[in-house]
Amino acid sequence: MEQSFTAREPEVRVLVADDSAFARRMISEILSRAPGIRVVGTASDGREAVSKALLLEPHVLTLDVMMPRLDGLHALQLLASLGSPSVLMLSHFTKEGAELTLRALELGALDFVDKGSPGLAQELPQKVRALAGKKPPRRPPGRCPVKELPRGSGRIKAVAVGASTGGPQALQILLPAFPPDVRFGLLVAQHMPRGFTAPFAQRLQEMCRLQVREARHGDKLHDALVLVAPAGMNMTLEKDLTVRLQRHPQSPYRPSIDVLFASAAEALGSRAMGVLLTGMGADGLKGAQALKARGAPVLAQDEETSVVFGMPKVAQKAGVVDKMVSIIDMAEAIASLA
């Protein structure tokens, strides 16, 4: 379970923007049935969404990507300049929909849901509650790292990174900060619907000086390579740095951070490292415990720069985090330990 609601939490006001009357009604009904959430209005296009967001002051705006008059991306840009509510994008499982959604995350949207997801009725209220009042972390300007980073000593061979809600923004800050000659590879388990991980890896490649791509079964991890686990699959690492992709029916998340971390601990012991970024729930805790048991360092994103301080907080409370780090400083912290 990602997150539960308690009566002590304040009511979340939501504005629903979608050009489809059916979608507006469906989304409004899902949210209205959820405890602690009130739909304060709906909008049928981007212009109406902007004007109603300013008038009604919702905590969260659910925003369709493709709308008439003013699409979701342009509405998002306007809202960002006006001090917008937290924005949750609603997307379609298509190549164009995935690319536009990932662009929206770069423009300030905090997360997204696939309209066609069979778990929409559960996922949508959870994300709305989690994002209320949240803002994306500020990115450092430019493409170059803020500081010159060490290449690493070669002691650490694999850095396993886990992320959920807010993870795409965090990874777009973290990965471009590495120089192209680091002496370790990175494995990324980002909770994301099917169809989105390949274009997400491609966008990261365009931003980074490392090689970034979606992982394939049988890949060999090497220095300066970033492999992103495909949605719907769990990624594991072997002792010879071979990557395996599997479906684990018992795993609640695919890709699972726990599965990735535990395999890195088993394969490399203290020559692995775990990095737990922003996200809801507790995925990554058991894996971080496995890493610590084998003498591997574990870093976690701090509360100030996390969109949702869920997974890092759980690991911190369990005593398995060596250091809490701002996402701006995370690349330096990783390189220093490596």
The whole-number mean pLDDT for each consecutive block of 10 residues of the chain, a chain of 338 residues, reads 57 96 96 97 95 95 90 89 87 79 91 89 95 82 54 83 96 95 96 92 96 98 97 96 86 90 98 97 97 98 96 98 97 93
Q: Residue 323 and residue 123: Cα distance in Å, rounded?
A: 30
| Order of strands across the sheet that contains 158-163 | 211-214, 225-228, 185-190, 158-163, 272-276, 298-301, 323-325
Between CA 159 and CA 167 the distance in angstroms is 16
| 3-state SS, residue 89 | strand
Domains of the chain and CATH, by start: 12-131 (3.40.50.2300), 158-337 (3.40.50.180)
pLDDT of amino acid 209: 95
Identity (one letter) of the amino acid at 326? S
Distance of CA 314 to the CA centre of its chain: 17
- Write down the pLDDT at residue 247: 85
Find out whether 228 and 199 touch, Cβ atoms under 8 Å: no
Long-range contacts of 5-11 (CB under 8 A, 24+ apart): 5/34, 5/35, 5/36, 5/125, 5/129, 7/35, 7/36, 9/36, 9/129, 10/36, 11/36, 11/37, 11/38
204 in Cβ contact with 228 (< 8 Å) = yes
User: Which DSSP symbol is given to 149?
Assistant: -
The conformation of residue 69, written as its DSSP 8-state character, comes to S
C-alpha–C-alpha distance, residues 282 and 286, integer Å: 8
Evaluate if pTM is beyond 0.85: yes
Closest CA to 136 of 95, 165, 102, 99: 165
**Catalytic amino acids?**
164, 191, 283
Cα separations (Å) of 186 from 97, 167, 228, 236? 27, 15, 9, 12
Contact indicator for 299, 275 with CB cutoff of 8 Å: yes
What gap in Å lies between CA 241 and CA 154, rounded to an integer? 14
Helices (H), the chain: 21-33, 46-56, 72-81, 95-107, 120-131, 167-174, 197-207, 257-268, 285-293, 311-317, 330-337
Please, are residues 274 and 160 in contact by the beta-carbon 8 Å criterion? yes
Q: Three-state DSSP class for 213?
A: strand
Query: In this structure, what DSSP letter does residue 6 have?
Result: -
CB 62 within 8 A of CB 88: yes
3-class SS of residue 310: coil
